[in-house]
């Protein structure tokens, strides 16, 4: 009786397989002993081994976005990092709106909600979290004033303008923008910001439209900004988006040559495959596996002509992160702040477990 073929335990642990209509080997191993039945060996899983095999590789970095690979991590760790970036990295946002005058067409509650969603260019490290029973002061809040009244530029301006291009011709202050928010320093805030060399607080973008006014209409308010996190409300989240995907791993189980190679290349909408001349033979090769979106067109084409040849997989320990910042932090600082927070959590729970052992 023939013995079963020996499993490649590296692929079993680290690679999910994409089939034409389902995904195979999606499970992860929560403990190295889980591999014992398959490999007959205990795999070492120490902190030193994790450090030696893990890495962060930056692929793209600009003022708006960072793309990097997190290599050698388990899904719970990758997802914890993603959730911290979204929900636990602090920023400053408008929390209270003291509305003194609002004769615009926007209801008070809608206007207050719009104000809260304006991203602010304030360094969160300059403020403390506001404690529930503590009043607002220079240590835990920032204040802005907004006072805009629309008037006629031309005395006989029409009451209703059909063409919005004529608004500038007839009206003054007909648009209320985020740039109309004026910082009102409290206590020693002005001196503190100047001492730290930090720019005065202001909205991140000056052209955010808050409301449209007509002659005689007015908005007057004072807003109070607090330090908070996205877990409390999305307005405190520092990212527009933070997501990851498992990197594809494309293999050809046997050579695809001649007309079949050309057919495979043309059938892939993402340009994953290319053709190389090897002597007198043209052969298909994997050109850019990271471009694969696992649409599976290469496997389903022509009634599954290449289904048993093209092997599409996902690397379960290789995560490609995409993090786009709102603008409060540079994108790389969001990642650093999230890693710092993750470390704090790990140390906290380590101490909790350590104390349990003493009891």
What's the farthest any 2 CA atoms get from each other in the chain? 102
Does the pLDDT of residue 80 top 90, yes or no?
A: yes
Distance CA 230, CA 114 (A): 17
Distance CA 265, CA 286 (A): 9
Q: Which of 69, 81, 67, 78 is CA-nearest to residue 28?
A: 78
Rg (CA), the chain: 29
User: Quick one: pLDDT at residue 246?
Assistant: 94
What's the chain's average pLDDT? 88
Lowest mean pLDDT among 42-51, 293-302, 321-330, 336-345: 42-51
CATH number listed for the domain at residues 91-230? 2.170.120.12
Residue 34 pLDDT grade (very low, low, confident, very high; cuts 50, 70, 90): very low
**Segment 124-146, tens digit of pLDDT:** 989 999 998 899 999 999 999 99
Does the pLDDT of residue 266 top 80, yes or no?
A: yes
**Segment 155-206, tens digit of pLDDT:** 777 767 777 777 888 889 999 999 999 999 999 999 998 888 888 999 999 9
Encode 315-351: b = buried (16+ Cβ within 10 Å), e = exposed: bbbbbbbbbbbbbbbebeebbebbeebbeeeeeeeee
Cα 71–chain centre separation:
18
Distance CA 354, CA 348 (A): 10
Encode 272-305: b = buried (16+ Cβ within 10 Å), e = exposed: bbebeeeeeebbbeeeebeebebebebbebeeeb
User: Quick one: pLDDT at residue 289?
Assistant: 92
Domain boundaries, the chain: 91-230
Given phi > 0 = left and psi -120 to 50 = alpha, else beta, which region is 181? beta
**Segment 218-250, tens digit of pLDDT:** 999 999 999 999 999 999 999 999 999 999 999
């Amino acid at each position: 009786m023939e013995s079963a073929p020996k499993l490649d335990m590296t692929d079993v642990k680290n690679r999910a397989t994409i089939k034409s209509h389902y995904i195979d080997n999606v499970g992860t191993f929560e403990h190295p002993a889980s591999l014992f039945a398959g490999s007959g060996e205990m795999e070492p899983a120490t902190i030193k081994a994790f450090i030696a095999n893990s890495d962060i590789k930056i692929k793209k970095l600009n003022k708006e976005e960072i793309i990097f690979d997190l290599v050698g991590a388990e899904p719970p760790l990758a997802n914890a990092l993603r959730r911290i970036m979204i929900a636990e990295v602090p920023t400053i946002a408008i929390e209270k709106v003291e509305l003194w005058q609002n004769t615009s067409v926007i209801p008070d509650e809608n206007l207050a909600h719009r104000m809260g969603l304006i991203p602010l260019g304030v360094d969160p490290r300059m403020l403390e979290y506001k404690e529930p029973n503590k009043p607002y002061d220079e240590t835990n809040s920032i204040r802005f004033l907004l006072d805009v009244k629309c008037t006629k530029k031309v005395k006989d301006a029409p009451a209703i303008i059909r063409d919005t291009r004529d608004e500038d011709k007839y009206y003054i202050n007909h648009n209320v923008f985020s740039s109309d928010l004026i910082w009102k320093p409290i206590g020693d805030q002005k001196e503190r910001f100047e001492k730290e060399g930090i720019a005065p607080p202001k909205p991140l973008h000056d052209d955010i439209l808050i409301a449209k006014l007509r002659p005689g209409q007015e908005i007057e308010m004072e807003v109070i900004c607090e330090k908070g996190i996205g877990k409390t409300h999305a307005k405190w989240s520092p990212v527009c988006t933070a997501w990851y995907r498992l990197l594809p791993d494309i293999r050809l189980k046997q050579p695809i040559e001649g007309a079949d190679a050309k057919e495979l290349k043309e059938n892939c909408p993402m340009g994953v495959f290319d053709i190389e001349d090897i002597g007198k033979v043209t052969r298909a090769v994997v050109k850019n596996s990271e471009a694969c979106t696992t649409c599976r067109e290469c496997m389903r084409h022509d009634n599954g002509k290449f289904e048993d040849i093209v092997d599409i997989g996902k690397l379960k320990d290789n995560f490609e992160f995409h993090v786009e910042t709102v603008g409060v932090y540079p994108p790389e600082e969001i990642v650093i702040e999230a890693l710092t927070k993750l470390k704090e959590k790990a140390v906290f729970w380590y101490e909790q477990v350590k104390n349990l052992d003493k009891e």
